[in-house]
Structures are given as C-alpha cells and as structure tokens.
Amino acid sequence: MAVAAGTLGALMATLDVSIVNSALPRIQGEIGASGTEGTWIATGYLVAEIIMIPLAGWLERLLGLRTFLLIVAAFFTLFSGICGMSTSLGMMIVGRVGQGLTGGAMIPTAQTIIATRLPRHQQPIGTAMFGATAILGPVVGPYVGGWLTENLSWHYAFFLNIPICIALMALLIIGLPSQKSRLDLIGEADWFGIVGLAAFLGGLTIALEEGQRDQWFSSPFIVGMFALSVLGFVMVMIGQLTAKRPVIRLSILLNRQFGAVVVMGLVIGMVIYGTAFMIPQFLANISNYDSMQSGLIVILPGIPSLMIMPFVPLLIRRLDIRIAVGLGLMILAYSAYMETELTALSDGAAFIDSQLLRGVGTILCMLFLNQAAIQSVSRDFASDAAGLFSAVRNLGGSFALAGITILQEQRHWFHSRRLEETLNANALRVQDYLQHNGSMSYARLEGIIQTQALTMTYVDLFWIMSVGIACVTPLVFFLRPLARNAPISTGH
C-alpha cells in the first residue's frame, strides 16, 4: 500500500507537468493571458519542481517520510483547487508554483518508499511501476487535459487531483509507519544553498521568459532578475564550500561520465518538454485541432514506451550503454528532423511516425542515462546524482519553454517581414487576388502570411532541436559500461 501511494503520488506529479499543454489556448483565453504569458503556466510548475527535488531528501529526514508526504499531499490538493478556480494569470501562476513545489517532493520520495519498504526481490516490480509513471505521466497529461477540457471544462484538469490526493493520503496513513521528526536538522541545513538555488533558478528563468518582451537589458526588471540569478549562484557556491551536506553537491559534475550524462540529460529534457509544448500549439494554431485531438497526438510516445518497459531490465543488462544511448539520441534527432517538413496544410497525421519514434528514443536514453548517473559516482553520492540528474532534465524543459518563447517571437516576425517583402503591391497576381476577394482581401492576405510565417517558425524550432541532439551525441563515448549486478533504479 505504501508503494501504491508513492507511485500514485509520482504519477499525479508527472501528469501535472503537461496536463495543461493541450488546454493552454483555452486557459489563456479565459484568464486573459497572451501566448507568451501563457508559457508561465507550464514553466512555473517546472521551475518549482526543479527547486524542490534536491530539497526532498533533507525535508524527509527533517519531518519523517509519512508526515512529509501527508503535508505535501494536502498542499498539492490546496494548490490544485487554486488553479481550478483561477480567474487571472497571477492566481494561476501561484497555484502552479505551489503544485510544482509539492509535486516535486512526491517524485524522489516514491523511489525512497520502493527502496525501503520492499524486499530486494520485489524491488524490480516497484521500479517498473515507478518507471511506467515517470514516462507515462508527462505523455498522458496532454490527452487527459484535452479530454477534460472538451467534455467538461479545463478547470477539471486541476480538480481531478482532489479525489486522487484524498485516496493518496489514506494509503499513506495506512501503509507507512509514523517516524519521529528530527527538527535539530534545521540548524545543519545548507541555507545558503537552499535560498541561492531558488534565487538562481527563479531569477534566470524569469529573465529568459520576460527578456524578449521587455527588450532585455534595457529593462531594469530584467537586469534585476539576472542580478538575482548571479547572487543565487554565488550563494549556492558558498554552500558548496561551507556546508557539511550541501543541498546539491555540484562537485560530482567534475566526474567525466556524470558531467556527460548531465549535458545529455539537459538537452533531452529540452526536447521532451519542448515538443510536448510545441505540438499542441501547432495543432491548435495551424490545424485548428481542439484540446482532445491535440492530446491524442501528444500521447503517442507513450505507446512504444509502455511496450518496451517490461524488457528494460534485460536491455540494461545485455545492451551496451553507449549503443543504447547513442541509438536513442539518433532516433530523437531524426524524429525532430522529420517535423521540419511541416507545412500550413499539415495535421496530426504528420506527427504520428515522429511521435512513435520519439517514444522509443526517450526510453532508451533516459533509463540508461539514469543508471549511468547513479553508477558514475560512489554509493554515498548516489542520491545526490539521482536528484541532480532529475533536476537538470526538468531544467532543460524550463530552458526549452523560455527559448521557444524567445525564438517564436523573433522568427515569426522575421518570416512575416520576408514574406511581405516578396509581395509587390503592383504585381499582377497580387492585384488579381485583391480584386477577386473583395473588401476582406487585405485581411485574408494578412491571415495567409501570418499562418505561413508561424508554420516556418515551428519548422525552425524543430530543426534547432534536431541539431542540438546531434551535437551532444558524441558524448556517449564518455560513458562506461554499466555494472551487470547493480540494482536497477529508475529516475524521474
């Protein structure tokens, strides 16, 4: 029952990463947010989750596992209700950040429950359950959110969490024993690192998100956010040098294999979260898909992932990690390259093959890289490596959403101007079009230009992702073969 509770919590936390993606156009319209502002609904959750994942281990020791999980489950329910009742962008962002902070705690603690509550011979079952939720949650999220949006309302994408949280809390009370709190650990905490990590990640992400709209360093606000980010980084480094147990042990990045794993994980996170965000946007803006139709396309990578999952233990023991990760990266790069052939007439069918390939590439990369992250450092630092790898992957997602916002505005403007330059007002074909389309001809022509420019912008973004993966693929040569007798662990 404890493992079921941990798995359910992890599923809910990973599901809520992407549950708003398909419903985002509808949510933006109802709460009065622009397209660029709407990315905060997704980014706020990710940034908060990144901050919480490294803190979860310390908070678990401080409060006891059951008490800690009951607290975060209760607050996750509260913040889900705030999201569901939101009437403004500010209220929605508060709810999403709260969801991310509490949901981020449920992911590493699920692994702790599997490791501590199950005997060794049953741990592969718990690991498989957790692995299925870690991969399936972000994939199923857009479909669940789309179905609820089209058949009920987008509000139910958040209200769905309330009965699940109630069941989760009941399982925790029954399945986990109570543990004594250790409040003495408050004095031993790496407070420089904790505060610095929040300032660094928060300031950097806000600066990247808002920089384009506020003209970068011409805005005092953006300058302040970058300064906050630098200050936060300095505080993290002070914590590294002075704390007995730093909140996040950056020294393990000097390990050649772990450093390579982190770089690959960062780029893979950018692709996974970036495509899960872009594809529903393309289908809504170009193909006029509703939320549920978009969700059906986004869910496709989950099909090969679930089919391969039962064979993961065998693959990890039999397949060389360099071959597996290299193959996975090439598949991911090719799947993104396939989407550079999109046109303004493309619909969901254009994404089917690439999405199925993306599912295969994702599971090959992420499961093997998680094993490499843990095995590349000593046993004492294994939890630090797992937490840092998970945080970096989510950080890649945050960078991807910020980068998409910046590039989308720039490339859309660029393509719009270039297309307009090709249309000479005195050209016979232009004059003929204007005469045959009457009083609405100018508006129709502008609509065509904007649609074509937006399509070309999405093509640029997919091309950049394809090249980015190709650039980090040679890092597989820094990987060492996995230990054959090591226990299999699955990261978020």
**432-459 pLDDT per residue, tens:** 777 776 666 777 778 888 899 999 999 9
Q: What percent of the chain has pLDDT over 70?
A: 87
Q: Is the pLDDT of residue 471 over 90?
A: yes
239-260 mean pLDDT: 82
For the chain, the average pLDDT equals: 80
The pLDDT value recorded for residue 125 is: 66
As a whole number, mean pLDDT of residues 235-261 equals 84
Mean pLDDT throughout 409-420? 88
For residue range 306-334, list pLDDT tens digits in order: 788 777 767 777 788 888 889 999 999 99
Mean pLDDT of 17-29: 75
Whether residue 460 has pLDDT greater than 90: yes
15: left (phi over 0), alpha (psi -120 to 50) or beta: alpha
pLDDT at 463 over 90: yes
Q: Which is more confidently placed, 122 or 199?
A: 199
The two tokens of residue 189 are 């905490």
pLDDT for the residue numbered 115: 64
| pLDDT given for residue 246 in this prediction | 80
The pLDDT tens digits for 196-205 are 888 887 788 7
Confidence of residue 492 (pLDDT cuts 50, 70, 90): very low
Least confident of 19-23, 47-51, 289-293: 19-23
Residue type, 349: A
| Pairwise CA distance, residues 408 & 361, whole Å | 26
Q: Which of 398, 389, 332 is nearest to 361 (CA)?
A: 332
Closest CA to 384 of 60, 197, 7, 108: 108
pLDDT of 491 > 50? The answer is: no
Dist CA 363 CA 359 (whole Å): 6
Q: What is the mean pLDDT of residues 370-395?
A: 74
Residue whose pair of structure tokens reads 């660094």 in the numeric block: 200
Q: Is the pLDDT of residue 350 over 50?
A: yes
For the segment 470-484, the average pLDDT, to the nearest whole number, is 83
Q: What confidence score (pLDDT) does residue 473 get?
A: 92
